[in-house]
Amino acid sequence: MVDVKMAKVHQVLEIIFGSTMISLLILMAIGSIKVKAQAGHLPPEEVQALQEVATQLGKKDWNFKVDPCSNDTSWKTPLSKDRPYYANIVTCNCSYIGGECHVESILLKAQDLAGVLPRAIMKLPFLKKLDLTRNYLSGNIPSEWASTKLEFLSVSINRLMGKIPSYLGNITTLRALGIENNMFSGTVPPQLGNLVNLEILRISSNNFIGKIPSFIQSWKNLQKLEIQASGFEGPIPSSISTLNNLTELRISDLHGEGSEFPHLENMTGIESLMLRNCNISGSIPLYIAARPSLKKLDLSFNRLGGNLSRDLEGLLELENIEIDLSRNNFTESSLPTTCRDTLNLFKSTSGGNNSKAAVECLKNFACSEDRYSLHINCGGGATNIGDISYVADEESGAAAKYVPTRESWEISNTGHFWSKNRSASDYIAQNLSILRMENSELYTRARLSPLSLTYYVRCLVNGNYNVKLHFAEIEKLVLKDFDIRKEAGGVDKVTIQNFKVLVEDGTLGIHLRWAGKGTTAVPIRGTYGPLISAIDVESGKLQIKAATNNFDPANKIGQGGFGSVYKGTLSDGTIVAVKQLSSKSKQGHREFLNEIGMISALQHPNLVRLQEESQLKMDWQTRQRICVGIAKGLAFLHEESALKIVHRDIKAANILLDRDLNPKISDFEVTWHRNMHYGVTYKADVYSFGIVALEIVVGKSNMKYRPDENFVCLMDWALVLQQKGDLMELVDPRLGSQFNKEEAVRMIKVALLCTFSSPALRPTMSEVVRMLEGRASVPELVVSQGMYAEQLGSGASMNKFDQISLHSSSKTRPLIHSC
């Protein structure tokens, strides 16, 4: 048994040994594979550095469970057309000696990162390219970066601030540097002159001070230089003439001192040249037209003059070059008469008006019919809102567009987005959120321009027009001049701006200019520049006819000295009173214009912009407010306005009420107090106010109320009741007991005081206001029989007065004394 066991053990050992041999061979093979794979991994110290970078940036979606060089999608996300500016790419180079991998490039663009610039970048010694464009990073450039060997660095479009650190000049390996669209301030340190290898430099849209540094002459390898709206002062330094390798030069918005055209004759390969708003004067050098490589030229918003056809001979005729010469002082006679889609000469002459070229281009289409209105869905398709049809505006609105394609309207778009080839989609802002505002189809898309946008509306009948401009903030960006988000009350909300204009030559220009500063890159996070959603242009005549249903007699609410007054409803629901001048009026056209002029010059809460209400059941508080409001309006006309005015036709029909039952004085038949006609004075309005105040208390018309045949009008009855000491009988019985007795007595007494036969004894309207508000006592009239006879003026009323006077004291008393 022993032998057997030994044999079995030997057999087992043999088997185990054999397996071990095989296992060792397998392990050795696996081990060799494992060593080779390990050589392709990122060193632990660089993995640790990336972890620190992620923490400092606020980036949370890198997957550290896989190797950063493994091409995992968390480290290398495929590019997408839906997010053209998004980038999430970490690139490694694994061809180093020994098969080691090292991070050479990090692109984290448009990821809404809200941290700071990572100091740990210095722990990636092989890093050559770092792009953190379009995020929300704050702070400044870390000092640790000075020791890096970066060749490409972009921190553009973030929230970085402070002075540019001098140690940035230590990264002498840099060939491309982008710090645009931040909040850097102060002067540019001279140490940046050490960056002699720079080929691309973008420092636009910051808050620098001082002049453009002369040490730019050190950057002789520069091919692209962008200094747009960075806060610098002019003039452009003469040292720029040494940058002979430039193919693209953009300088704009220089403050202060100007100069003549800079010396750029050595830039023989220039392709894109922008010197916009740099306060450049004089003429354009002849060598500019001799640059065959030139594709884009923007010299807008300067003081350039001279003979344009001579200075740019040949260049103006080329179709493959985009030229913007708007807002200059060229001789109008030298402007070309040809119309080109890529040539913008808007207000390019010393007169400042629309240039001859623009006008002639717009006249290419003859007007087949006169127009009273036009409605445009800017950037969007044709749509109907109620009874209004909006025409489409979807075509490319690229730079320098002047050639009209329609009869009734056209666009001129100043400036273009320089960062890529122009596309129709670049000039239309798209709202991707769910819109909940009314008429949302007008605000889904909007027309966008990098600098200025002009809509020309043609073939209009001359006259007054109402223009509505519709705005809706497409994304969360505060504009520099007109803050759409603030005006609208938030994002995805609407604001409509209304304007009154006079069209005299059949053409209306609606011009929107960007008053801000900055880049002309295609906007991706928010928008900048003019942005408009819709335009409404309507003739005042057309609106009024529609509002009153063509002056339908059913809408007539009164008759004045100049003609009838009609109630109308505008398209936005506003109720208006419209006076139609009658050719049969006894008063002339000049007097009518005088009335309109007076009303236009007056601004008071109780004047005009009216709406009529009738047969209202008003409580006492409302009646009191109406009476005081009328008094304040008249006091303003008589005493407070710069133009002292007598209304001449105060009556209940001319006191209209708004939705809150606030009184509005309408239907002026005004007379200037300093040039009174027919002896009319303020006291005529005071008398009329007294009648209206009494009608408010009683709830009856003065001439239509007769308690019995003994009384001609309401005023007769009031005088009798005053003598009887029974003024409460005048109060509208519909009020019951729900009124203030003290206020009612005061209002009646004021009304009677205002209607006294002697104008000299009537109060001024400012005194009336104080009495009605209880800030002054009401004088009490005490009259004799003869005086009442003059007041009443009819036999029947006098008989009534005689009966009352039998019970009166025969003593004589002053006509007026204080209560």
Which residue numbers belong to the known binding site for ATP? 579
Q: How many residues does the chain have?
A: 819
Q: Which two tokens stand for residue 507?
A: 């053409």
Helix (H) or strand (E) segment spanning residue 510: strand 508-513
Output phi, psi for 532, to 5 deg.
-140, 140
User: Edge-to-edge strand order for the sheet containing 428-430?
Assistant: 428-430, 445-448, 531-532
In whole angstroms, give the CA distance from residue 716 to residue 694: 11
Q: Which residues contact 242 (CB under 8 A, 6 or more apart)?
A: 217, 220, 266
In whole angstroms, give the CA distance from residue 651 to residue 649: 6
Between the CA of residue 666 and those of 540, 581, 590, 669, 756, what are the distances in Å? 19, 15, 19, 9, 25
DSSP letter string, 642-678: SS-EE-S---GGGEEE-TT--EEE-----EEGGG-ST
- Do 301 and 229 meet the contact criterion of CB atoms below 8 Å apart? no
Q: Which two tokens stand for residue 754?
A: 């205002």
Helix (H) or strand (E) segment spanning residue 580: strand 575-581
- Do 590 and 680 meet the contact criterion of CB atoms below 8 Å apart? no
Owner of token pair 């990572």? 118
Active site residues: 649
- Do 323 and 348 meet the contact criterion of CB atoms below 8 Å apart? no
- Do 284 and 306 meet the contact criterion of CB atoms below 8 Å apart? yes
Q: Which residues contact 674 (CB under 8 A, 6 or more apart)?
A: 644
- Do 290 and 315 meet the contact criterion of CB atoms below 8 Å apart? no
Q: Which of 532, 442, 431, 428 is nearest to 487 (CA)?
A: 532
Between the CA of residue 236 and those of 239, 289, 775, what are the distances in Å? 9, 21, 68
What is the rounded radius of gyration, in angstroms, for the C-alpha atoms of the chain?
A: 41
Helix, strand, coil percent values for the chain (each to nearest 5) = 30, 25, 45
- Do 670 and 595 meet the contact criterion of CB atoms below 8 Å apart? yes
718, HSE (Cβ side, Cα atoms, 13 Å): 31
In whole angstroms, give the CA distance from residue 310 to residue 288: 12
Output phi, psi for 667, to 5 deg.
55, 55
